Structures are given as C-alpha cells and as structure tokens.
C-alpha cells in the first residue's frame, strides 16, 4: 500500500534535508507569499514583454519567440534592459527558500527562474559556503566555449573549478537577474544549448557530480513547453532517482505524458500545503 501524500512528502522533506534528494524549483513558488513583484512563469513574462514591445499576437504567449522578436527587431540591449527591469525587485524568500538555505547537507538546488529569491535566502541565512552557476546567453558569453558562469556568494566571477569546494551549488540553468544579469530568454539563446544538451555538454560538471546517486523533487514547476521539459529531462539525466513532482490538478496532456516517460511520480496537492509538510520539523 502506498503512503498517503502527506506521509510521502514528509519523507521527501527528510531526504532533501539529508542531501539525498535535490530540490528543482519553478516560478510557481513565488506566489506562496502573495502576488510577487516579478513575473512568475513563462507565459506571464511573455505577455509582459509583448505588452512593452509590440510583439505580434500570434507569438505573444511564447516566451522564447517573444524574446527573439524583441532581440531581432529592437536589439538585444532592449531585451536585456526589459529583463533587468522586470526582475530588479527580489521577492521575499518563502518558507521553502529559507528552509533550504538553512540545510547544511544540501549539495545542489536547481532554480529554473530568473529571480533572486533563493540567493536572498542564502544571504539571510548568513551562508558564505555556497555559490551560483548560471546559464550564459550566447549574446553575452565570456568566450566561445563558455556555457555558464560560476559566481561566488559575493558576486565575483570565478573559474568553474571553484564550485567543487562549495557546500551548496545554486544552479540557475536559464540564467539569473542577479548578480550578473545574464539570461537565456530568446530562441537564439537556446539554439546551441538545445543542440548539445542531449550529450550533456552545457550541464556544468559540478551539477553532474552532485546529481549522481541522488533523486529530484520538482516544486512549483510546469512542463507545458518543450524547452521546459527538455531542461528538466537533461538536468535530471543520469541521476540516481527516484523523482517526484508536486503537481496541480490542471496538468496538460503533454505534462502528464512527460511525467510518465521520465518516471516522475506526481504528488497532486496544493503547493502551499505540500511546502508546509516538506518543511515541517521532524519528530
């Protein structure tokens, strides 16, 4: 007999705290503390970009196409400026962010949105033994061979090898507004990444090392877009498993199929309730 969702989630929380499961965070988490000061999700951000830059209606719901339209018709500088403006506010860390930041056995956090919330949680916890690896757009790479930037807690850019010494790596695969402002958001940003991601070249070595032998828990994530599904699949690839996802009731057919193919066990429950259970102290 399977455990109840509450018992299952309590166990997942214990395994995250022990360093056995890796939290994989999505933008839906930002709504747990009320309306966030930043766009929370690819469709919401796409509509905001479209409203500010006259993106055609046929692509206004697709973030990557909307970003490409702005980059092609109004220059990359315009796109970067809008992204920096939209994500300049830093949402207050939720109970989950603060709980994760307080775990001393957490090797890796994957955060798939552009905001600085998880970074702020580490700073609030007084942690100095962590750092951030963020995806780097083709438009702003340091050189032709760089897929990501390795950034210390103080914001300084370091050699990739420095991440091996950190207790916790915060991995932002789509880039981050803070501290460097480097983001992947247009189709052209993803062309090379998606070409090579199946052979894992864009995945940082520190992420590959820390996912080995561990599973994943997806929290606040949606998989209605092919890019979102591809990144989740490839980041979790070669991990030890198992995999779980807290999901809402309104999953699309593509999302249900994705969970089945990837062997991700869905846990249907409101996100706020699930977070409350995961973060509760163990008896």
CATH number, domain containing residue 224: 3.40.50
pLDDT at residue 283, as a whole number: 57
pLDDT at residue 81, as a whole number: 95
Q: Whose CA is closest to 114, among 79, 70, 77?
A: 79
Those residues with Cβ within 8 angstroms of residue 149's Cβ, 6 or more apart along the chain or in another chain: 133, 134, 136, 142, 157, 180, 182
Read off the pLDDT of each residue in 76-84 and give the average, rounded to a whole number.
94
Residue-range definition of the domain harbouring residue 145: 5-38+87-278
Those residues with Cβ within 8 angstroms of residue 97's Cβ, 6 or more apart along the chain or in another chain: 29, 117, 118, 120, 121
pTM of the predicted protein model: 0.95
| End-of-domain residue from the set 51, 69, 86 | 86
The pLDDT tens digits of the residues spanning 89-125 come to 999 999 999 999 999 999 999 999 999 999 999 999 9
Return the DSSP state at 173: T
Tell me the CB-side half-sphere exposure of residue 113, using CA atoms within 13 A. 29
Residue 80 inside a domain? The answer is yes
Please indicate, yes or no, whether residues 26 and 123 belong to a single structural domain of this protein. yes
Query: Which strands sit side by side in the sheet containing 264-268, from one edge to the other?
Result: 157-158, 148-152, 130-135, 168-172, 108-111, 21-25, 215-219, 243-247, 264-268
Residue 156 inside a domain? The answer is yes
CB 63 within 8 A of CB 39: no
pLDDT at residue 180, as a whole number: 85
Return the DSSP state at 172: E
Number of domains in the chain: 2
Confidence of residue 198 (pLDDT cuts 50, 70, 90): confident
| End-of-domain residue from the set 54, 86, 118 | 86
pLDDT higher at 195 or 38: 38
Please indicate, yes or no, whether residues 247 and 234 belong to a single structural domain of this protein. yes
pLDDT at residue 168, as a whole number: 98
Please indicate, yes or no, whether residues 195 and 111 belong to a single structural domain of this protein. yes
Strands (E), 84-205: 108-111, 130-135, 148-152, 157-158, 168-172
Please indicate, yes or no, whether residues 34 and 60 belong to a single structural domain of this protein. no
Q: Whose CA is closest to 227, among 115, 36, 94, 66?
A: 66
């Amino acid at each position: 007999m399977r455990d109840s969702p509450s018992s299952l989630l309590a166990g997942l929380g214990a395994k995250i705290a022990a360093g056995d499961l890796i939290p994989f965070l999505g933008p839906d988490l930002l709504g747990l503390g009320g309306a966030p000061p930043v766009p929370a999700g690819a469709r919401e951000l796409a509509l905001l970009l479209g409203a500010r830059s006259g993106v055609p209606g046929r692509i206004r719901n697709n973030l990557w196409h909307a970003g490409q339209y702005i980059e092609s018709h109004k220059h990359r500088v315009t796109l970067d400026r809008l992204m920096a403006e939209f994500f300049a506010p830093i949402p207050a860390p939720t109970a989950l962010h603060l709980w994760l930041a307080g775990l001393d056995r957490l090797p890796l956090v994957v955060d798939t949105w552009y905001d600085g919330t998880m970074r702020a949680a580490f700073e609030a916890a007084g942690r100095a033994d962590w750092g951030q690896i963020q995806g780097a757009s083709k438009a702003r790479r340091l050189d032709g061979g760089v897929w990501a930037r390795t950034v210390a807690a103080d914001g300084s850019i370091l050699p990739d090898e420095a991440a091996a010494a950190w207790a916790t790596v915060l991995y932002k695969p789509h880039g981050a507004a803070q501290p460097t402002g480097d983001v992947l958001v247009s189709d052209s940003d993803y062309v090379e990444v998606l070409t090579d991601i199946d052979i894992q070249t864009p995945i940082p070595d520190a992420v590959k090392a820390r996912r080995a032998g561990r599973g994943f828990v997806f929290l606040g994530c949606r998989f209605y877009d092919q890019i979102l599904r591809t990144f989740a699949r490839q980041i979790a690839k070669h991990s030890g498993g198992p995999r779980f996802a807290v999901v809402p009731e309104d999953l699309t057919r593509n999302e249900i199929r994705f969970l089945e193919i990837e062997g991700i066990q869905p846990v249907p429950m409101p996100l706020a309730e699930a977070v409350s259970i995961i973060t509760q102290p163990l008896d």
